Structure formats: C-alpha cells, structure tokens
Amino acid sequence: MNTFPSVTGKSRILLDALLEGPKSMAELGELLDTQYVATYVLRLRKALGEPGLVHTTFTGYRLELPPRPAPVFQLPAPVGGFVGRADEISWLSAGLPGTVLISGPPGIGKTALATSVGHEVRSRFPGGQLYVNLRGYSPEPPLSPSVVLSRFLRSLGVERVPDDLAGEFRKLLRDSRILVVLDNAASVEQVTPLLPLDPTCGVLITSRSSLALDAAEVRLGTLHPDEAESLLGSLGSGAPIQRLAEWCGYYPLALRIAAGNLVDRPDVAASVDDLLASDRMALAVDDDAEVRRTFDLSFAALSPADASLFGLLGAVPGQDFSLDGAAALAGGPVSLDRLVSANLVQQAGARYSMHDLLREYALERAGDVSVARQRLFSWYLTHAQTVSAALYPEAAVLPPTGLPSVDAALTWINAERSNVLAAAEDCARNGPAAWSWQLVDAVGGFFGAQANGVEYLSAASLALAAARSVGDRAAEALMVVRIASAYRNRGELRRALDMFDGVPLDCGDPWVPSMRGTLQLELGDLAAARESFNAVLALGDLPQVRISGLYGLSTLAVLAGDFTGAAEMLRSGVSLARAHDLANLEATCLTFLALCHAEWAEHAHAISLLRRALELRGERGTPHLRTGVLTYLAVVLSQAGHVDEARSTVTEALDALPSLGGATRIESMVHHAHGVVLDALGLESRAAYSLALELAVAASSPYDEMRARLGLGDLSGAWTLAARHGYFIRIPGTASREQ
C-alpha cells in the first residue's frame, strides 16, 4: 500500500525508510546525500501537512504517528431521575458517530438529554468525551472558538497551545473515537471550528436555534404528560400532581424545581392547590413562562439568607465557583445545601454552577450586586497574587511571608484560572476597570510558564483596551508588557516588540524597558537593547528590577565577548536573587555565568552551575526555559569530553520539543546543541545545524543564525552577521580564553 501517495522523489525515499517498521530509525549516514537531508526532511514535513510526524532523534529521524491522547471524561454526571425521551435517545444514539443537534426552547431539557445520550453511547467512544458549555445564551459573552480549542487541547495533554488551534485539535482527534459535546451553542460560526471532521468521532450539539449544519437534528418539545408526572413521582400521584405538571407546562426544568420545593411539604395536595389559586400564573407571558413560574415558586420558598445568596450567585462571571468563592461573594460563611436541594444550583464535587436561565433570573432578583462583585473580585485578586508570589516570586506584589506551598498554589490556580480571566473580562466591560488589569497581571506568570496563551491574550487585550479608555498610562504599560511576553513565548518576537510602539522608555514601569530590551537583544539590535537595560537600572532599586537590568547588560557583554565584565554583573545578580528567594532569576543568571566559566575552560564549574539552574527551572514549572538550560548543558558537557552525558542531555531536550508548541528560537537552540554533540561524537551533524538555521531565520534571531552557520562551516555568512550586529565570534576548534 502506498501510504501518503503525494510524497515523491527523495522525500519519498526518506518516508519509505521511516515506514519500514514501527518507529524504525533512518540513520543519516545511510539514507541520502547527507548534505541535503535537512532539506528533504523539511519538504517531507510540509508534504505530510503535520511537521511533528517526523521527529528528530539523536542520530537521525523517526516517523511518529500522533499518539492517541489519554482518554478524557468531561461529560457531566447523568441528571438524577431522568425520565422519558426514549425515542429521542434511540434516534440520537443511532446518529453517533456523526454529528447530531438537539434544539429547543430554554428549560426543555436539552442538556439533560445530551448528557443521557453521551452516557448511553459511552462504549462507542473509548477515547472519552470532551464537554463545554459554550454560553451561547448566558448573561456572560459566549465562549470564542479559540478559547474552547485552547481548553480542549490542554485537556488532551497539549502543554503549549499552537497557532493553528483547529488544525492541532483535528490532528489529535484523528482516529481517536472521542465524543465532543458542545452545549448551549449560539451560532454556526461558534461551532464550526470545534468539529473534529473525523468519521470515528461523534459530535453532540445543543442550541436554542436550528443551526445550518450538516447534522441530524431533533427539535425537542415538552414531556408527555405521563413522563412529566413520573418526574414528579416523589410528590405522589393523582389529580394534584397532574394539575402541577400542567401548570409547569411539562417543562423538565420547571418540573424539577417544583418538585424540589414541594417535596418536604406535609400536605402536597394542599400546597399545589394554594399554588394554582395564586396569581403567579399571570407573572410571565413569554415563551418560557412555565419555567419562570417555577422560579418564582422556588424563590418564594427560600429563607431571606438563601434568597439573598441565590441572587448574588447570578453575578459570578465564570462557569462555576467554589464554596469559598460563594462565601467571598456573600461577605461571610455560607451554605449552598438548600439551593442545591431546590435544584437552583448544581453541584459537581467541590464545584458549583447554575443554569443560564437561573443566572438571569437570579440577577433580576438580586438588585444591586456591585458591592458583592467587588468582594468576589477582591478574593480572586488576593488569592491570585498570593499564588503568583508562591510560584513566581520575582513578579510578586506581596511580601514573601505566609505563602502556600507550590502544590497548593498550583491546585488553586488550576481550579480558578478560567474564572479569574472571566472576572478580568467582566471588569474590562462593566467596571471597575482597574480590576481587569490587576487580575490579568496577577496570573500572568502562570499563563506565561504554562504557555496557554489564547485565553490569557483575550483577557489581557480587553484589559489593555480598558486601560486606554480611561487614560491610565501605567496600566497600559503593564498590559503591553504582559501581552508582549505572551507573544514572545509563542515565538513572535517582532509582533511582541511592536506592542511597545508609542510607549516611552521613561514611562515609570521598569518592566517596559526590560521586556523591550530582551526583545531587541534577541532580534539583534544590541545598541537599542543597551539603552533599554540602562533605563531599567535607572528606574528603581527593587531586587528583581536590578537583576533584570544586570542580566540584560551581562548578556550584551557575553555577545560582545566581554566575559569578565559579564561574570561580575551575573555574580551580583545571583547574590541578589538568592537573598530574595527569586528562583527563576537565579537560574537565569547562573546559566549565563556558566557560559563565562565555559569560555575560560572551567568546565566542571560551568556544569555545576548549569545543573543548579536546571533544578531551579524544574521547581517552578517553566518547561521552555528548562529546555534552554538543557541545550547549554549539552554543549558544555561536549566541550568537557563527557560525550555520553551530553548525548543523553540533548536527547532529553529533543524529546521536550513537541511540548514547546512553536517556541522557534528555543527549538533552534536545541538543534544547534544537537549538532555540537554530534560533532563531539564524530557523527554527521549537518542536518542538525541545517534545522537550527531554518528555525533561527524563522525566529528572526541573528545570533542563533550565526551559530548555526558556524556549525555548517559557512564562515562568511557567520562573519557577516557578527559584523552587522556586533557579536563576538569564535571559530570552531580555536582555544578558549583564560580568565
């Protein structure tokens, strides 16, 4: 069988070699003219449409079909006491795998039916289920496809979200037999990018509207009277129950809420008679009148404290909340038991949520919730800042005392991450504006380290617009730095630098010249970078600010060949970082200090410094930075003659590449280190340096381009870059300097 028939020529030779067996190796020296192997690899990756299929190993390449993601099971638990809908369940189940749509008015039971069908067909989808409430008709803005895809990819184990979200999602779901449940969809445009387009997968969509999709559709109506009475079975039977079912319009949501409020009444029949004799039936005239009547019934049965709490919960901006979050909203300890038993709040473990209709109703009943919102947002902000101080002390705004453990901090931020960003977006739209950028800033370190930038960039962009709308230049500068940092982590250096257009160096925020200087340095504008880093040192005496300035100037010194001057600044940076427990900054300074000692042929000391930097990087969960340290360690180990350890170290860096998701400059560094280690082993290295060169050019990183050209023996090209940018250049094979 001719797999991938579109691949021809010498790329075909490469592909056939890779297809010989499961994960078979293609040794560089035995395959093709090695001078052009990297070109064939790049062409093959392009022809396959999925660059990650051809994986670089230490001595060659390996074809790796995308691993099936570990099963995920996000489908909510089945609704208790679900009744009826047998025909609909049978019809929908028959359409899966495939795409099916459940449409109908609010409160008709679309989500409950979708959940029941999902569990009914669970055995057909061993890959699991992905579930999302798209908030198509929520008081909050609908979720964008990019945010949903980012969450799905994270659930599927993608550590760094790529630019092509839909493409990566569909690649992962190929032959995966996963069920995707898209609940509460607003439009075709919201849904289309979320479709797997794979015949082994199923898609189950719910919406109030009939969407123009290539999908089988069930338009859901009310329950049959017998089914409605069965749902009210806990109240008894007979004429009163029949009248109550009719009063609820046979709507499942209305029936459940009515049952929750009448189940404890000593005389259900009398309670039903009282209800039907009241004037509540005249309260609503819209399409969901019956549902809203039961809301009125439930609300009237609540104690004043529970009624007040219920109203406030409508102001929660995220999809769910914790008991502590509810307490913050209310301003004191609360119990949600009564609201859960009345079916006004749903509980899933330690998290709680509300139906969109109930959220709207709660807000109508709540009155002014501005004070409660500020209490909740203050709780989010305080906890987010505390977590940030524990995980990333160099960016902390709180004193380093009384902080949670790293594990506890990660547990909180992983549970509340989306809610913090939802709160930031809510504040950007509805005020107070200052909360928006403060919340975004508080979680900036976490999202930067984890490289899940789509949701973060959305919230940060809204916060930036809010800062500009009120003319707060300090907040504008803060958000520019955060957004630029996110773009830098994605490998978009020039786009990141463009964020600083119109932001002066002397704006008062030292992180503006710090980030701008870092980008200028990486793009090869050393004179501008020096001006920026000098501005950093002039803007304050905070230890993290001084370390940032010292590190920037020391890096410039290293690039210019002044290793003695660089080492002096780096030692000062290490001392400051250790004195103030700034682990990430200590690791950064140790890494470049090690390069100075390696230049002086003090390899044992350099290796010791790099190993300590590696430990610090691992403690703080920064995979892209840790991979960078691995590349330096592999090079120094090679220089010291520890070739076996160098080989295992660079192999670890190569294995980390799929998780970096587009950090092209770091990828270039890894392939350059790979070439250095291959040289030390006397093996063919041209392909590794060629890949390093391609990636350096793509990243607009002239220093990495210069190093790759040196590895390839292109001395003329390397000298040209060195002269243009002012880089110190060492010809391979020449002796290191003495200190």
Task: Report pLDDT digits (tens) over 374-383.
Answer: 999 999 999 9
pLDDT band (50, 70, 90) for residue 662: low
Q: Region 90-104: what's the mean pLDDT?
A: 92
> pLDDT tier at 301 (50, 70, 90 boundaries)?
confident
Given a cut of 60, whether residue 265 has pLDDT beyond it is yes
Joined tokens for residue 432: 């107070």
Say whether pLDDT at 132 is over 90: yes
- Per-residue confidence band for 34, with pLDDT thresholds at 50, 70 and 90: very low
For 657, the token pair is: 């590449």
| CATH match for 304-366 among 1.10.10, 1.10.472, 3.40.50, 1.10.287 | 1.10.10
For 270-291, write each residue's pLDDT tens digit. 777 766 665 443 333 345 565 7
pLDDT at residue 286 in the model: 44
pLDDT confidence band for 704 (50 / 70 / 90): very high
Confidence of residue 731 (pLDDT cuts 50, 70, 90): low
Among 84, 104, 103, 108, CA closest to 222 = 108
Classify 535 as helix, strand or coil: helix
Residue 141, pLDDT score = 83
The CA distance from 687 to 58, in Å, is 11
What average pLDDT does the structure give for the chain?
A: 83
What pLDDT is stored for residue 527 in this prediction?
Answer: 93
User: Once rounded to an integer, what is the mean pLDDT over residues 123-146?
Assistant: 88
Mean pLDDT along residues 516-544: 90
Which CATH number is associated with domain 622-739? 1.25.40
Examine the pLDDT at 21 and tell me if it is beyond 60.
Answer: no
pLDDT the model gives residue 50? 58
Residues near 648 by Cβ (< 8 Å), separated by ≥ 6? none
**Which amino acid, 146?**
S
Q: Confidence class of residue 517 from pLDDT cuts 50, 70 and 90?
A: very high
What pLDDT, on a 0 to 100 scale, did the predictor assign at position 299?
83
Half-sphere exposure of 243 (CA within 13 A, CB side): 14
Q: What confidence category does residue 30 fall into, taking pLDDT thresholds of 50, 70 and 90?
A: very low
Higher per-residue confidence, 623 vs 369? 369
pLDDT of residue 414: 86
What is the per-residue pLDDT for 383?
92
Q: Which helix (H) or strand (E) holds 434?
A: helix 433-442
For residue 199, the one-letter residue type is: P
pLDDT at residue 279, rounded to an integer: 41
Range picked from 33-47, 174-188, 394-408 for highest mean pLDDT: 174-188
Q: How far is CA 478 from CA 29, 209, 420, in A?
A: 52, 41, 17
Residue 739: predicted pLDDT:
47
- For the cut 80, the answer to whether the pLDDT of residue 554 exceeds it is yes
The yes-or-no verdict on residue 24 having pLDDT over 80 is no
Residues in Cβ contact with 409 at an 8 Å cutoff, skipping those fewer than 6 apart: 386, 387, 390, 391, 403
Q: Report which DSSP code applies to 431.
A: S
Taken in order 335, 341, 347, 349, the sign of the CA dihedral is positive
pLDDT of residue 620: 54
The residues near 74 (Cβ < 8 Å, ≥ 6 apart) are 128, 129, 130, 131, 132, 155, 181
Mean pLDDT of 458-475: 93
Q: Considering the entire predicted model, what is its pTM?
A: 0.72
Can you give the pLDDT at residue 553?
Answer: 96
State the CB neighbour count (10 A cutoff) for residue 538: 12
Q: Is the pLDDT of residue 359 over 80?
A: yes
Burial of residue 90 (number of CB atoms within 10 Å: 0-12, 13-18, 19+) = exposed
As assigned by CATH, the class of the 9-63 domain is: mainly alpha
What integer is the mean pLDDT of 365-390? 91
pLDDT of residue 318: 85
- pLDDT score for 364: 87
**Helix, strand, coil share (%) of the chain residues, nearest 5:** 60, 5, 30
pLDDT beyond 70 at 182: yes
Mean per-residue pLDDT, 493-509? 85
Task: Please work out, in degrees rounded to the nearest 5, the angle formed at the alpha carbon of residue 546 by the alpha carbons of 542 and 549.
Answer: 145
Sheet containing 202-207: give its strands across. 72-73, 128-133, 179-185, 202-207, 98-103, 216-219
Is-cis flag, bond preceding 432, omega within 30? yes
- Residue 177 in contact with residue 126, Cβ under 8 Å? yes
- DSSP H helices, 490-622, are 493-498, 511-522, 526-538, 543-560, 563-579, 583-599, 603-619
- Among residues 206, 140, 147, 151, which one has the least CA distance to residue 356? 140
Q: What is the CATH number of domain 72-219?
A: 3.40.50.300
Convert the pLDDT of each residue in 163-180 to its tens digit.
Answer: 788 988 998 888 888 999
- Checking if the pLDDT of 538 tops 80, the result is yes
Percent with pLDDT over 70 in the chain: 82
Helix (H, G, I), strand (E, B) or coil at 707: helix
Alpha carbons 316 and 380: distance in angstroms, whole number: 11
Number of neighbouring beta carbons within 10 Å of residue 341: 14
Mean pLDDT of 188-203: 93
Given pLDDT bands bounded at 50, 70 and 90, which one contains residue 439? very high
Looking at residues 439-467, what average pLDDT do you find? Answer: 83
